[in-house]
Structure 1
């Protein structure tokens, strides 16, 4: 096969080669592939003629890979495995209740997962594919139906619904708070283990909001993932300046406490974003409406 990818053997030849190389026998490969031994031998000969070199050494009833054959086996096994996985994924798109949803890992673990039982109750026919790829989604070149984006909401050509204005506030476990008399005063936080993420709206912003103008401690664990920072707070490692939309479930369940009502905003919000044509599909529209309902379901989470 010629063209964009140069000289490529047939798929049948690669499958036959991989089986014979893995089993070290043309006969056993033939049994596995429901072919005759001569058919497998013909595939291997065709492959070797295309490559211009041997990939097997024939040794009686067994075969051994040449150095070139061993190299080719590694590539072939990896390629066939990737292709098989990709083809198996396509079955998802034929399911009537399929919805491809992209969101940040922190959103999936701290907002979405605990709500999935409600989704199955309200929309029992929906089967979402939850993608937590962090790269920006291009709806023109992906199968994504809808996504959660963080920003200013200015994305022309897409349907955009604001879910939450981002607000940050200190959170920790009740047990950790008890070591500081449940944080009666904000300046007690200066002596606590502060957990940090990579937002520029850091602890200094919050301390300034409560009238404390001292520079916040820079010691403590730093996280690139706000979801992992929240997990650290849940593990009792310290106090996180956390996203309240993401921490709300843990606060409402009592796993975390919010010692102070003071919050700081980031000037950005969480948005539900979708390509208009795709979210018009019944399954995608049901999922979209459920996400909106969930985001507005309690007074804690009103926009």
Structure 2
């Protein structure tokens, strides 16, 4: 039987394949860069094929290495799922999770039945906070926040980084005859969450005058922004992570392939005085497993379209 690679080396490969850099993989795995590089070399020595191409300081996966990393990602997801199914035996109690409305409705709710089936003896409640980074509710056992990792007296774990892109309904794109270039946004309604900051950042990146981004309709809730975009009322600045399902279904499209990396990310925040709750640990492990599957399913680049003729309306 061929030698089985170490789990740590496989995790290093999966993380490197996802981020594309050693330093980001090291940051996520809480290891040094040299330790991640050592694990990748160790894995390469264990296998009978080359995983990496090295050109000076640049390191990238070979085609064979990328294919292997994809299979490793699926295998780690299966292992995580098996662990959860067995850990579910005996996990009981109450669990209250706080989650921003946008990610709750667009990403968490379509998957939450999986947790309920895996942990039938856990009574789960999902609540939404007033602020996306709010961790003040004493009744909450685990927070999913959008902000930074600063949470005094609590454990913080990065869930996912966020890119923002313009998104709109294909109905709108067909109605206006397409969006050929960023300047064409001047003739459509812009949809905002709270303020103009996200659109201003994108306009700056696209070489458009920032003051032109300060128009359109502002909403107090991300669900309202997406509802307006889905009903072809304008173009929204969409969070790629929570828009991916609507884009995959063709309900929303991205007319331009220009993205702004947000300075904020989604985090799991766990109060230290509730860290011993087995249901919290189970939910956090379940989230990790769902993210692994989500990353594997979204490896393909979501296409962008800027011409009305690209669409067949349902």
Larger Rg, first or second structure (1 or 2): 1
Cα distance between partner residues in 2 of 1:114 and 1:182: 31
Cα distance between partner residues in 2 of 1:276 and 1:293: 23
Report what 1:110 is aligned to.
Answer: 106
Report what 1:57 is aligned to.
Answer: none
Q: For residues 254 and 279 of structure 1, do their structure 2 counterparts lie closer, same or farther at Cα, with a shift above 3 Å needed?
A: farther
Which one of the candidate residues 231, 247, 251 is aligned to 1:251? 247
Cα distance between partner residues in 1 of 2:275 and 2:223: 27
SS state of the match for residue 163, structure 2? strand
Report what 1:221 is aligned to.
Answer: 217
1:33-182 correspondence to structure 2 within 5 Å: 96-134=92-130, 136-138=134-136, 142-182=138-178
**What is the CA distance between 1:214 and its match in structure 2?**
6.2
TM score, norm. by length of structure 1? 0.61
TM score, norm. by length of structure 2? 0.59
Cα distance between partner residues in 2 of 1:187 and 1:168: 18
Contact residue 194 and residue 239 of structure 1 kept, 8 A: yes
Cα distance between partner residues in 2 of 1:195 and 1:113: 24
Contact residue 106 and residue 228 of structure 1 kept, 8 A: no
Which one of the candidate residues 286, 289, 292 is aligned to 1:293? 289
SS state of the match for residue 172, structure 2? helix
RMSD: 2.5
Matched pairs, number? 206
Contact residue 226 and residue 242 of structure 1 kept, 8 A: no
Contact residue 295 and residue 301 of structure 1 kept, 8 A: no
Cα distance between partner residues in 1 of 2:163 and 2:128: 22
Cα distance between partner residues in 2 of 1:209 and 1:287: 38
Cα distance between partner residues in 2 of 1:214 and 1:114: 36
**What is the CA distance between 1:116 and its match in structure 2?**
1.8
SS state of the match for residue 178, structure 1? helix
Which one of the candidate residues 180, 187, 191 is aligned to 1:191? 187
Q: For residues 115 and 194 of structure 1, do their structure 2 counterparts lie closer, same or farther at Cα, with a shift above 3 Å needed?
A: same
**What is the CA distance between 1:281 and its match in structure 2?**
2.4
Contact residue 171 and residue 258 of structure 1 kept, 8 A: yes
**What is the CA distance between 1:236 and its match in structure 2?**
1.7
1:206-217 correspondence to structure 2 within 5 Å: 206-213=202-209, 215-217=211-213
Report what 2:6 is aligned to.
Answer: none
Report what 2:40 is aligned to.
Answer: none
SS state of the match for residue 102, structure 2? helix
Cα distance between partner residues in 1 of 2:189 and 2:244: 21
Asked if residue 272 in structure 1 is aligned to residue 268 in structure 2, the reply is yes
SS state of the match for residue 110, structure 2? helix
